[in-house]
């Protein structure tokens, strides 16, 4: 997998704004047709500091 940029500083997979997860899952927000990145969400996100 190529480098995936990440701006979510609170995610455990974010290392210097590059996602370090082995795989990622991105889905649409809600049931609407997605027309831009604003309509998407990263399901791989895991918050830092939580077990």
pLDDT at 30: 84
* CA-based nearest residue to 46, from 13, 18, 19: 13
Contacts of residue 48, Cβ cutoff 8 Å, sequence gap at least 6: 10, 11, 12
pLDDT at 2: 82
Tokens 């990263």 sit at which residue?
Answer: 42
pLDDT at 32: 82
Per-residue pLDDT of the chain (51 residues; tens, 9 = 90+): 789 999 999 999 999 999 999 999 999 988 889 999 889 999 999 999 875
């Amino acid at each position: 997998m190529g480098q995936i940029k990440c701006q979510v500083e609170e995610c455990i997979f974010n290392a210097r704004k590059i996602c370090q997860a082995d795989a990622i899952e991105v889905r649409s927000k809600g049931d609407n047709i997605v027309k831009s990145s604003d309509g998407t969400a990263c399901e791989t996100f895991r918050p830092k500091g939580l077990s």
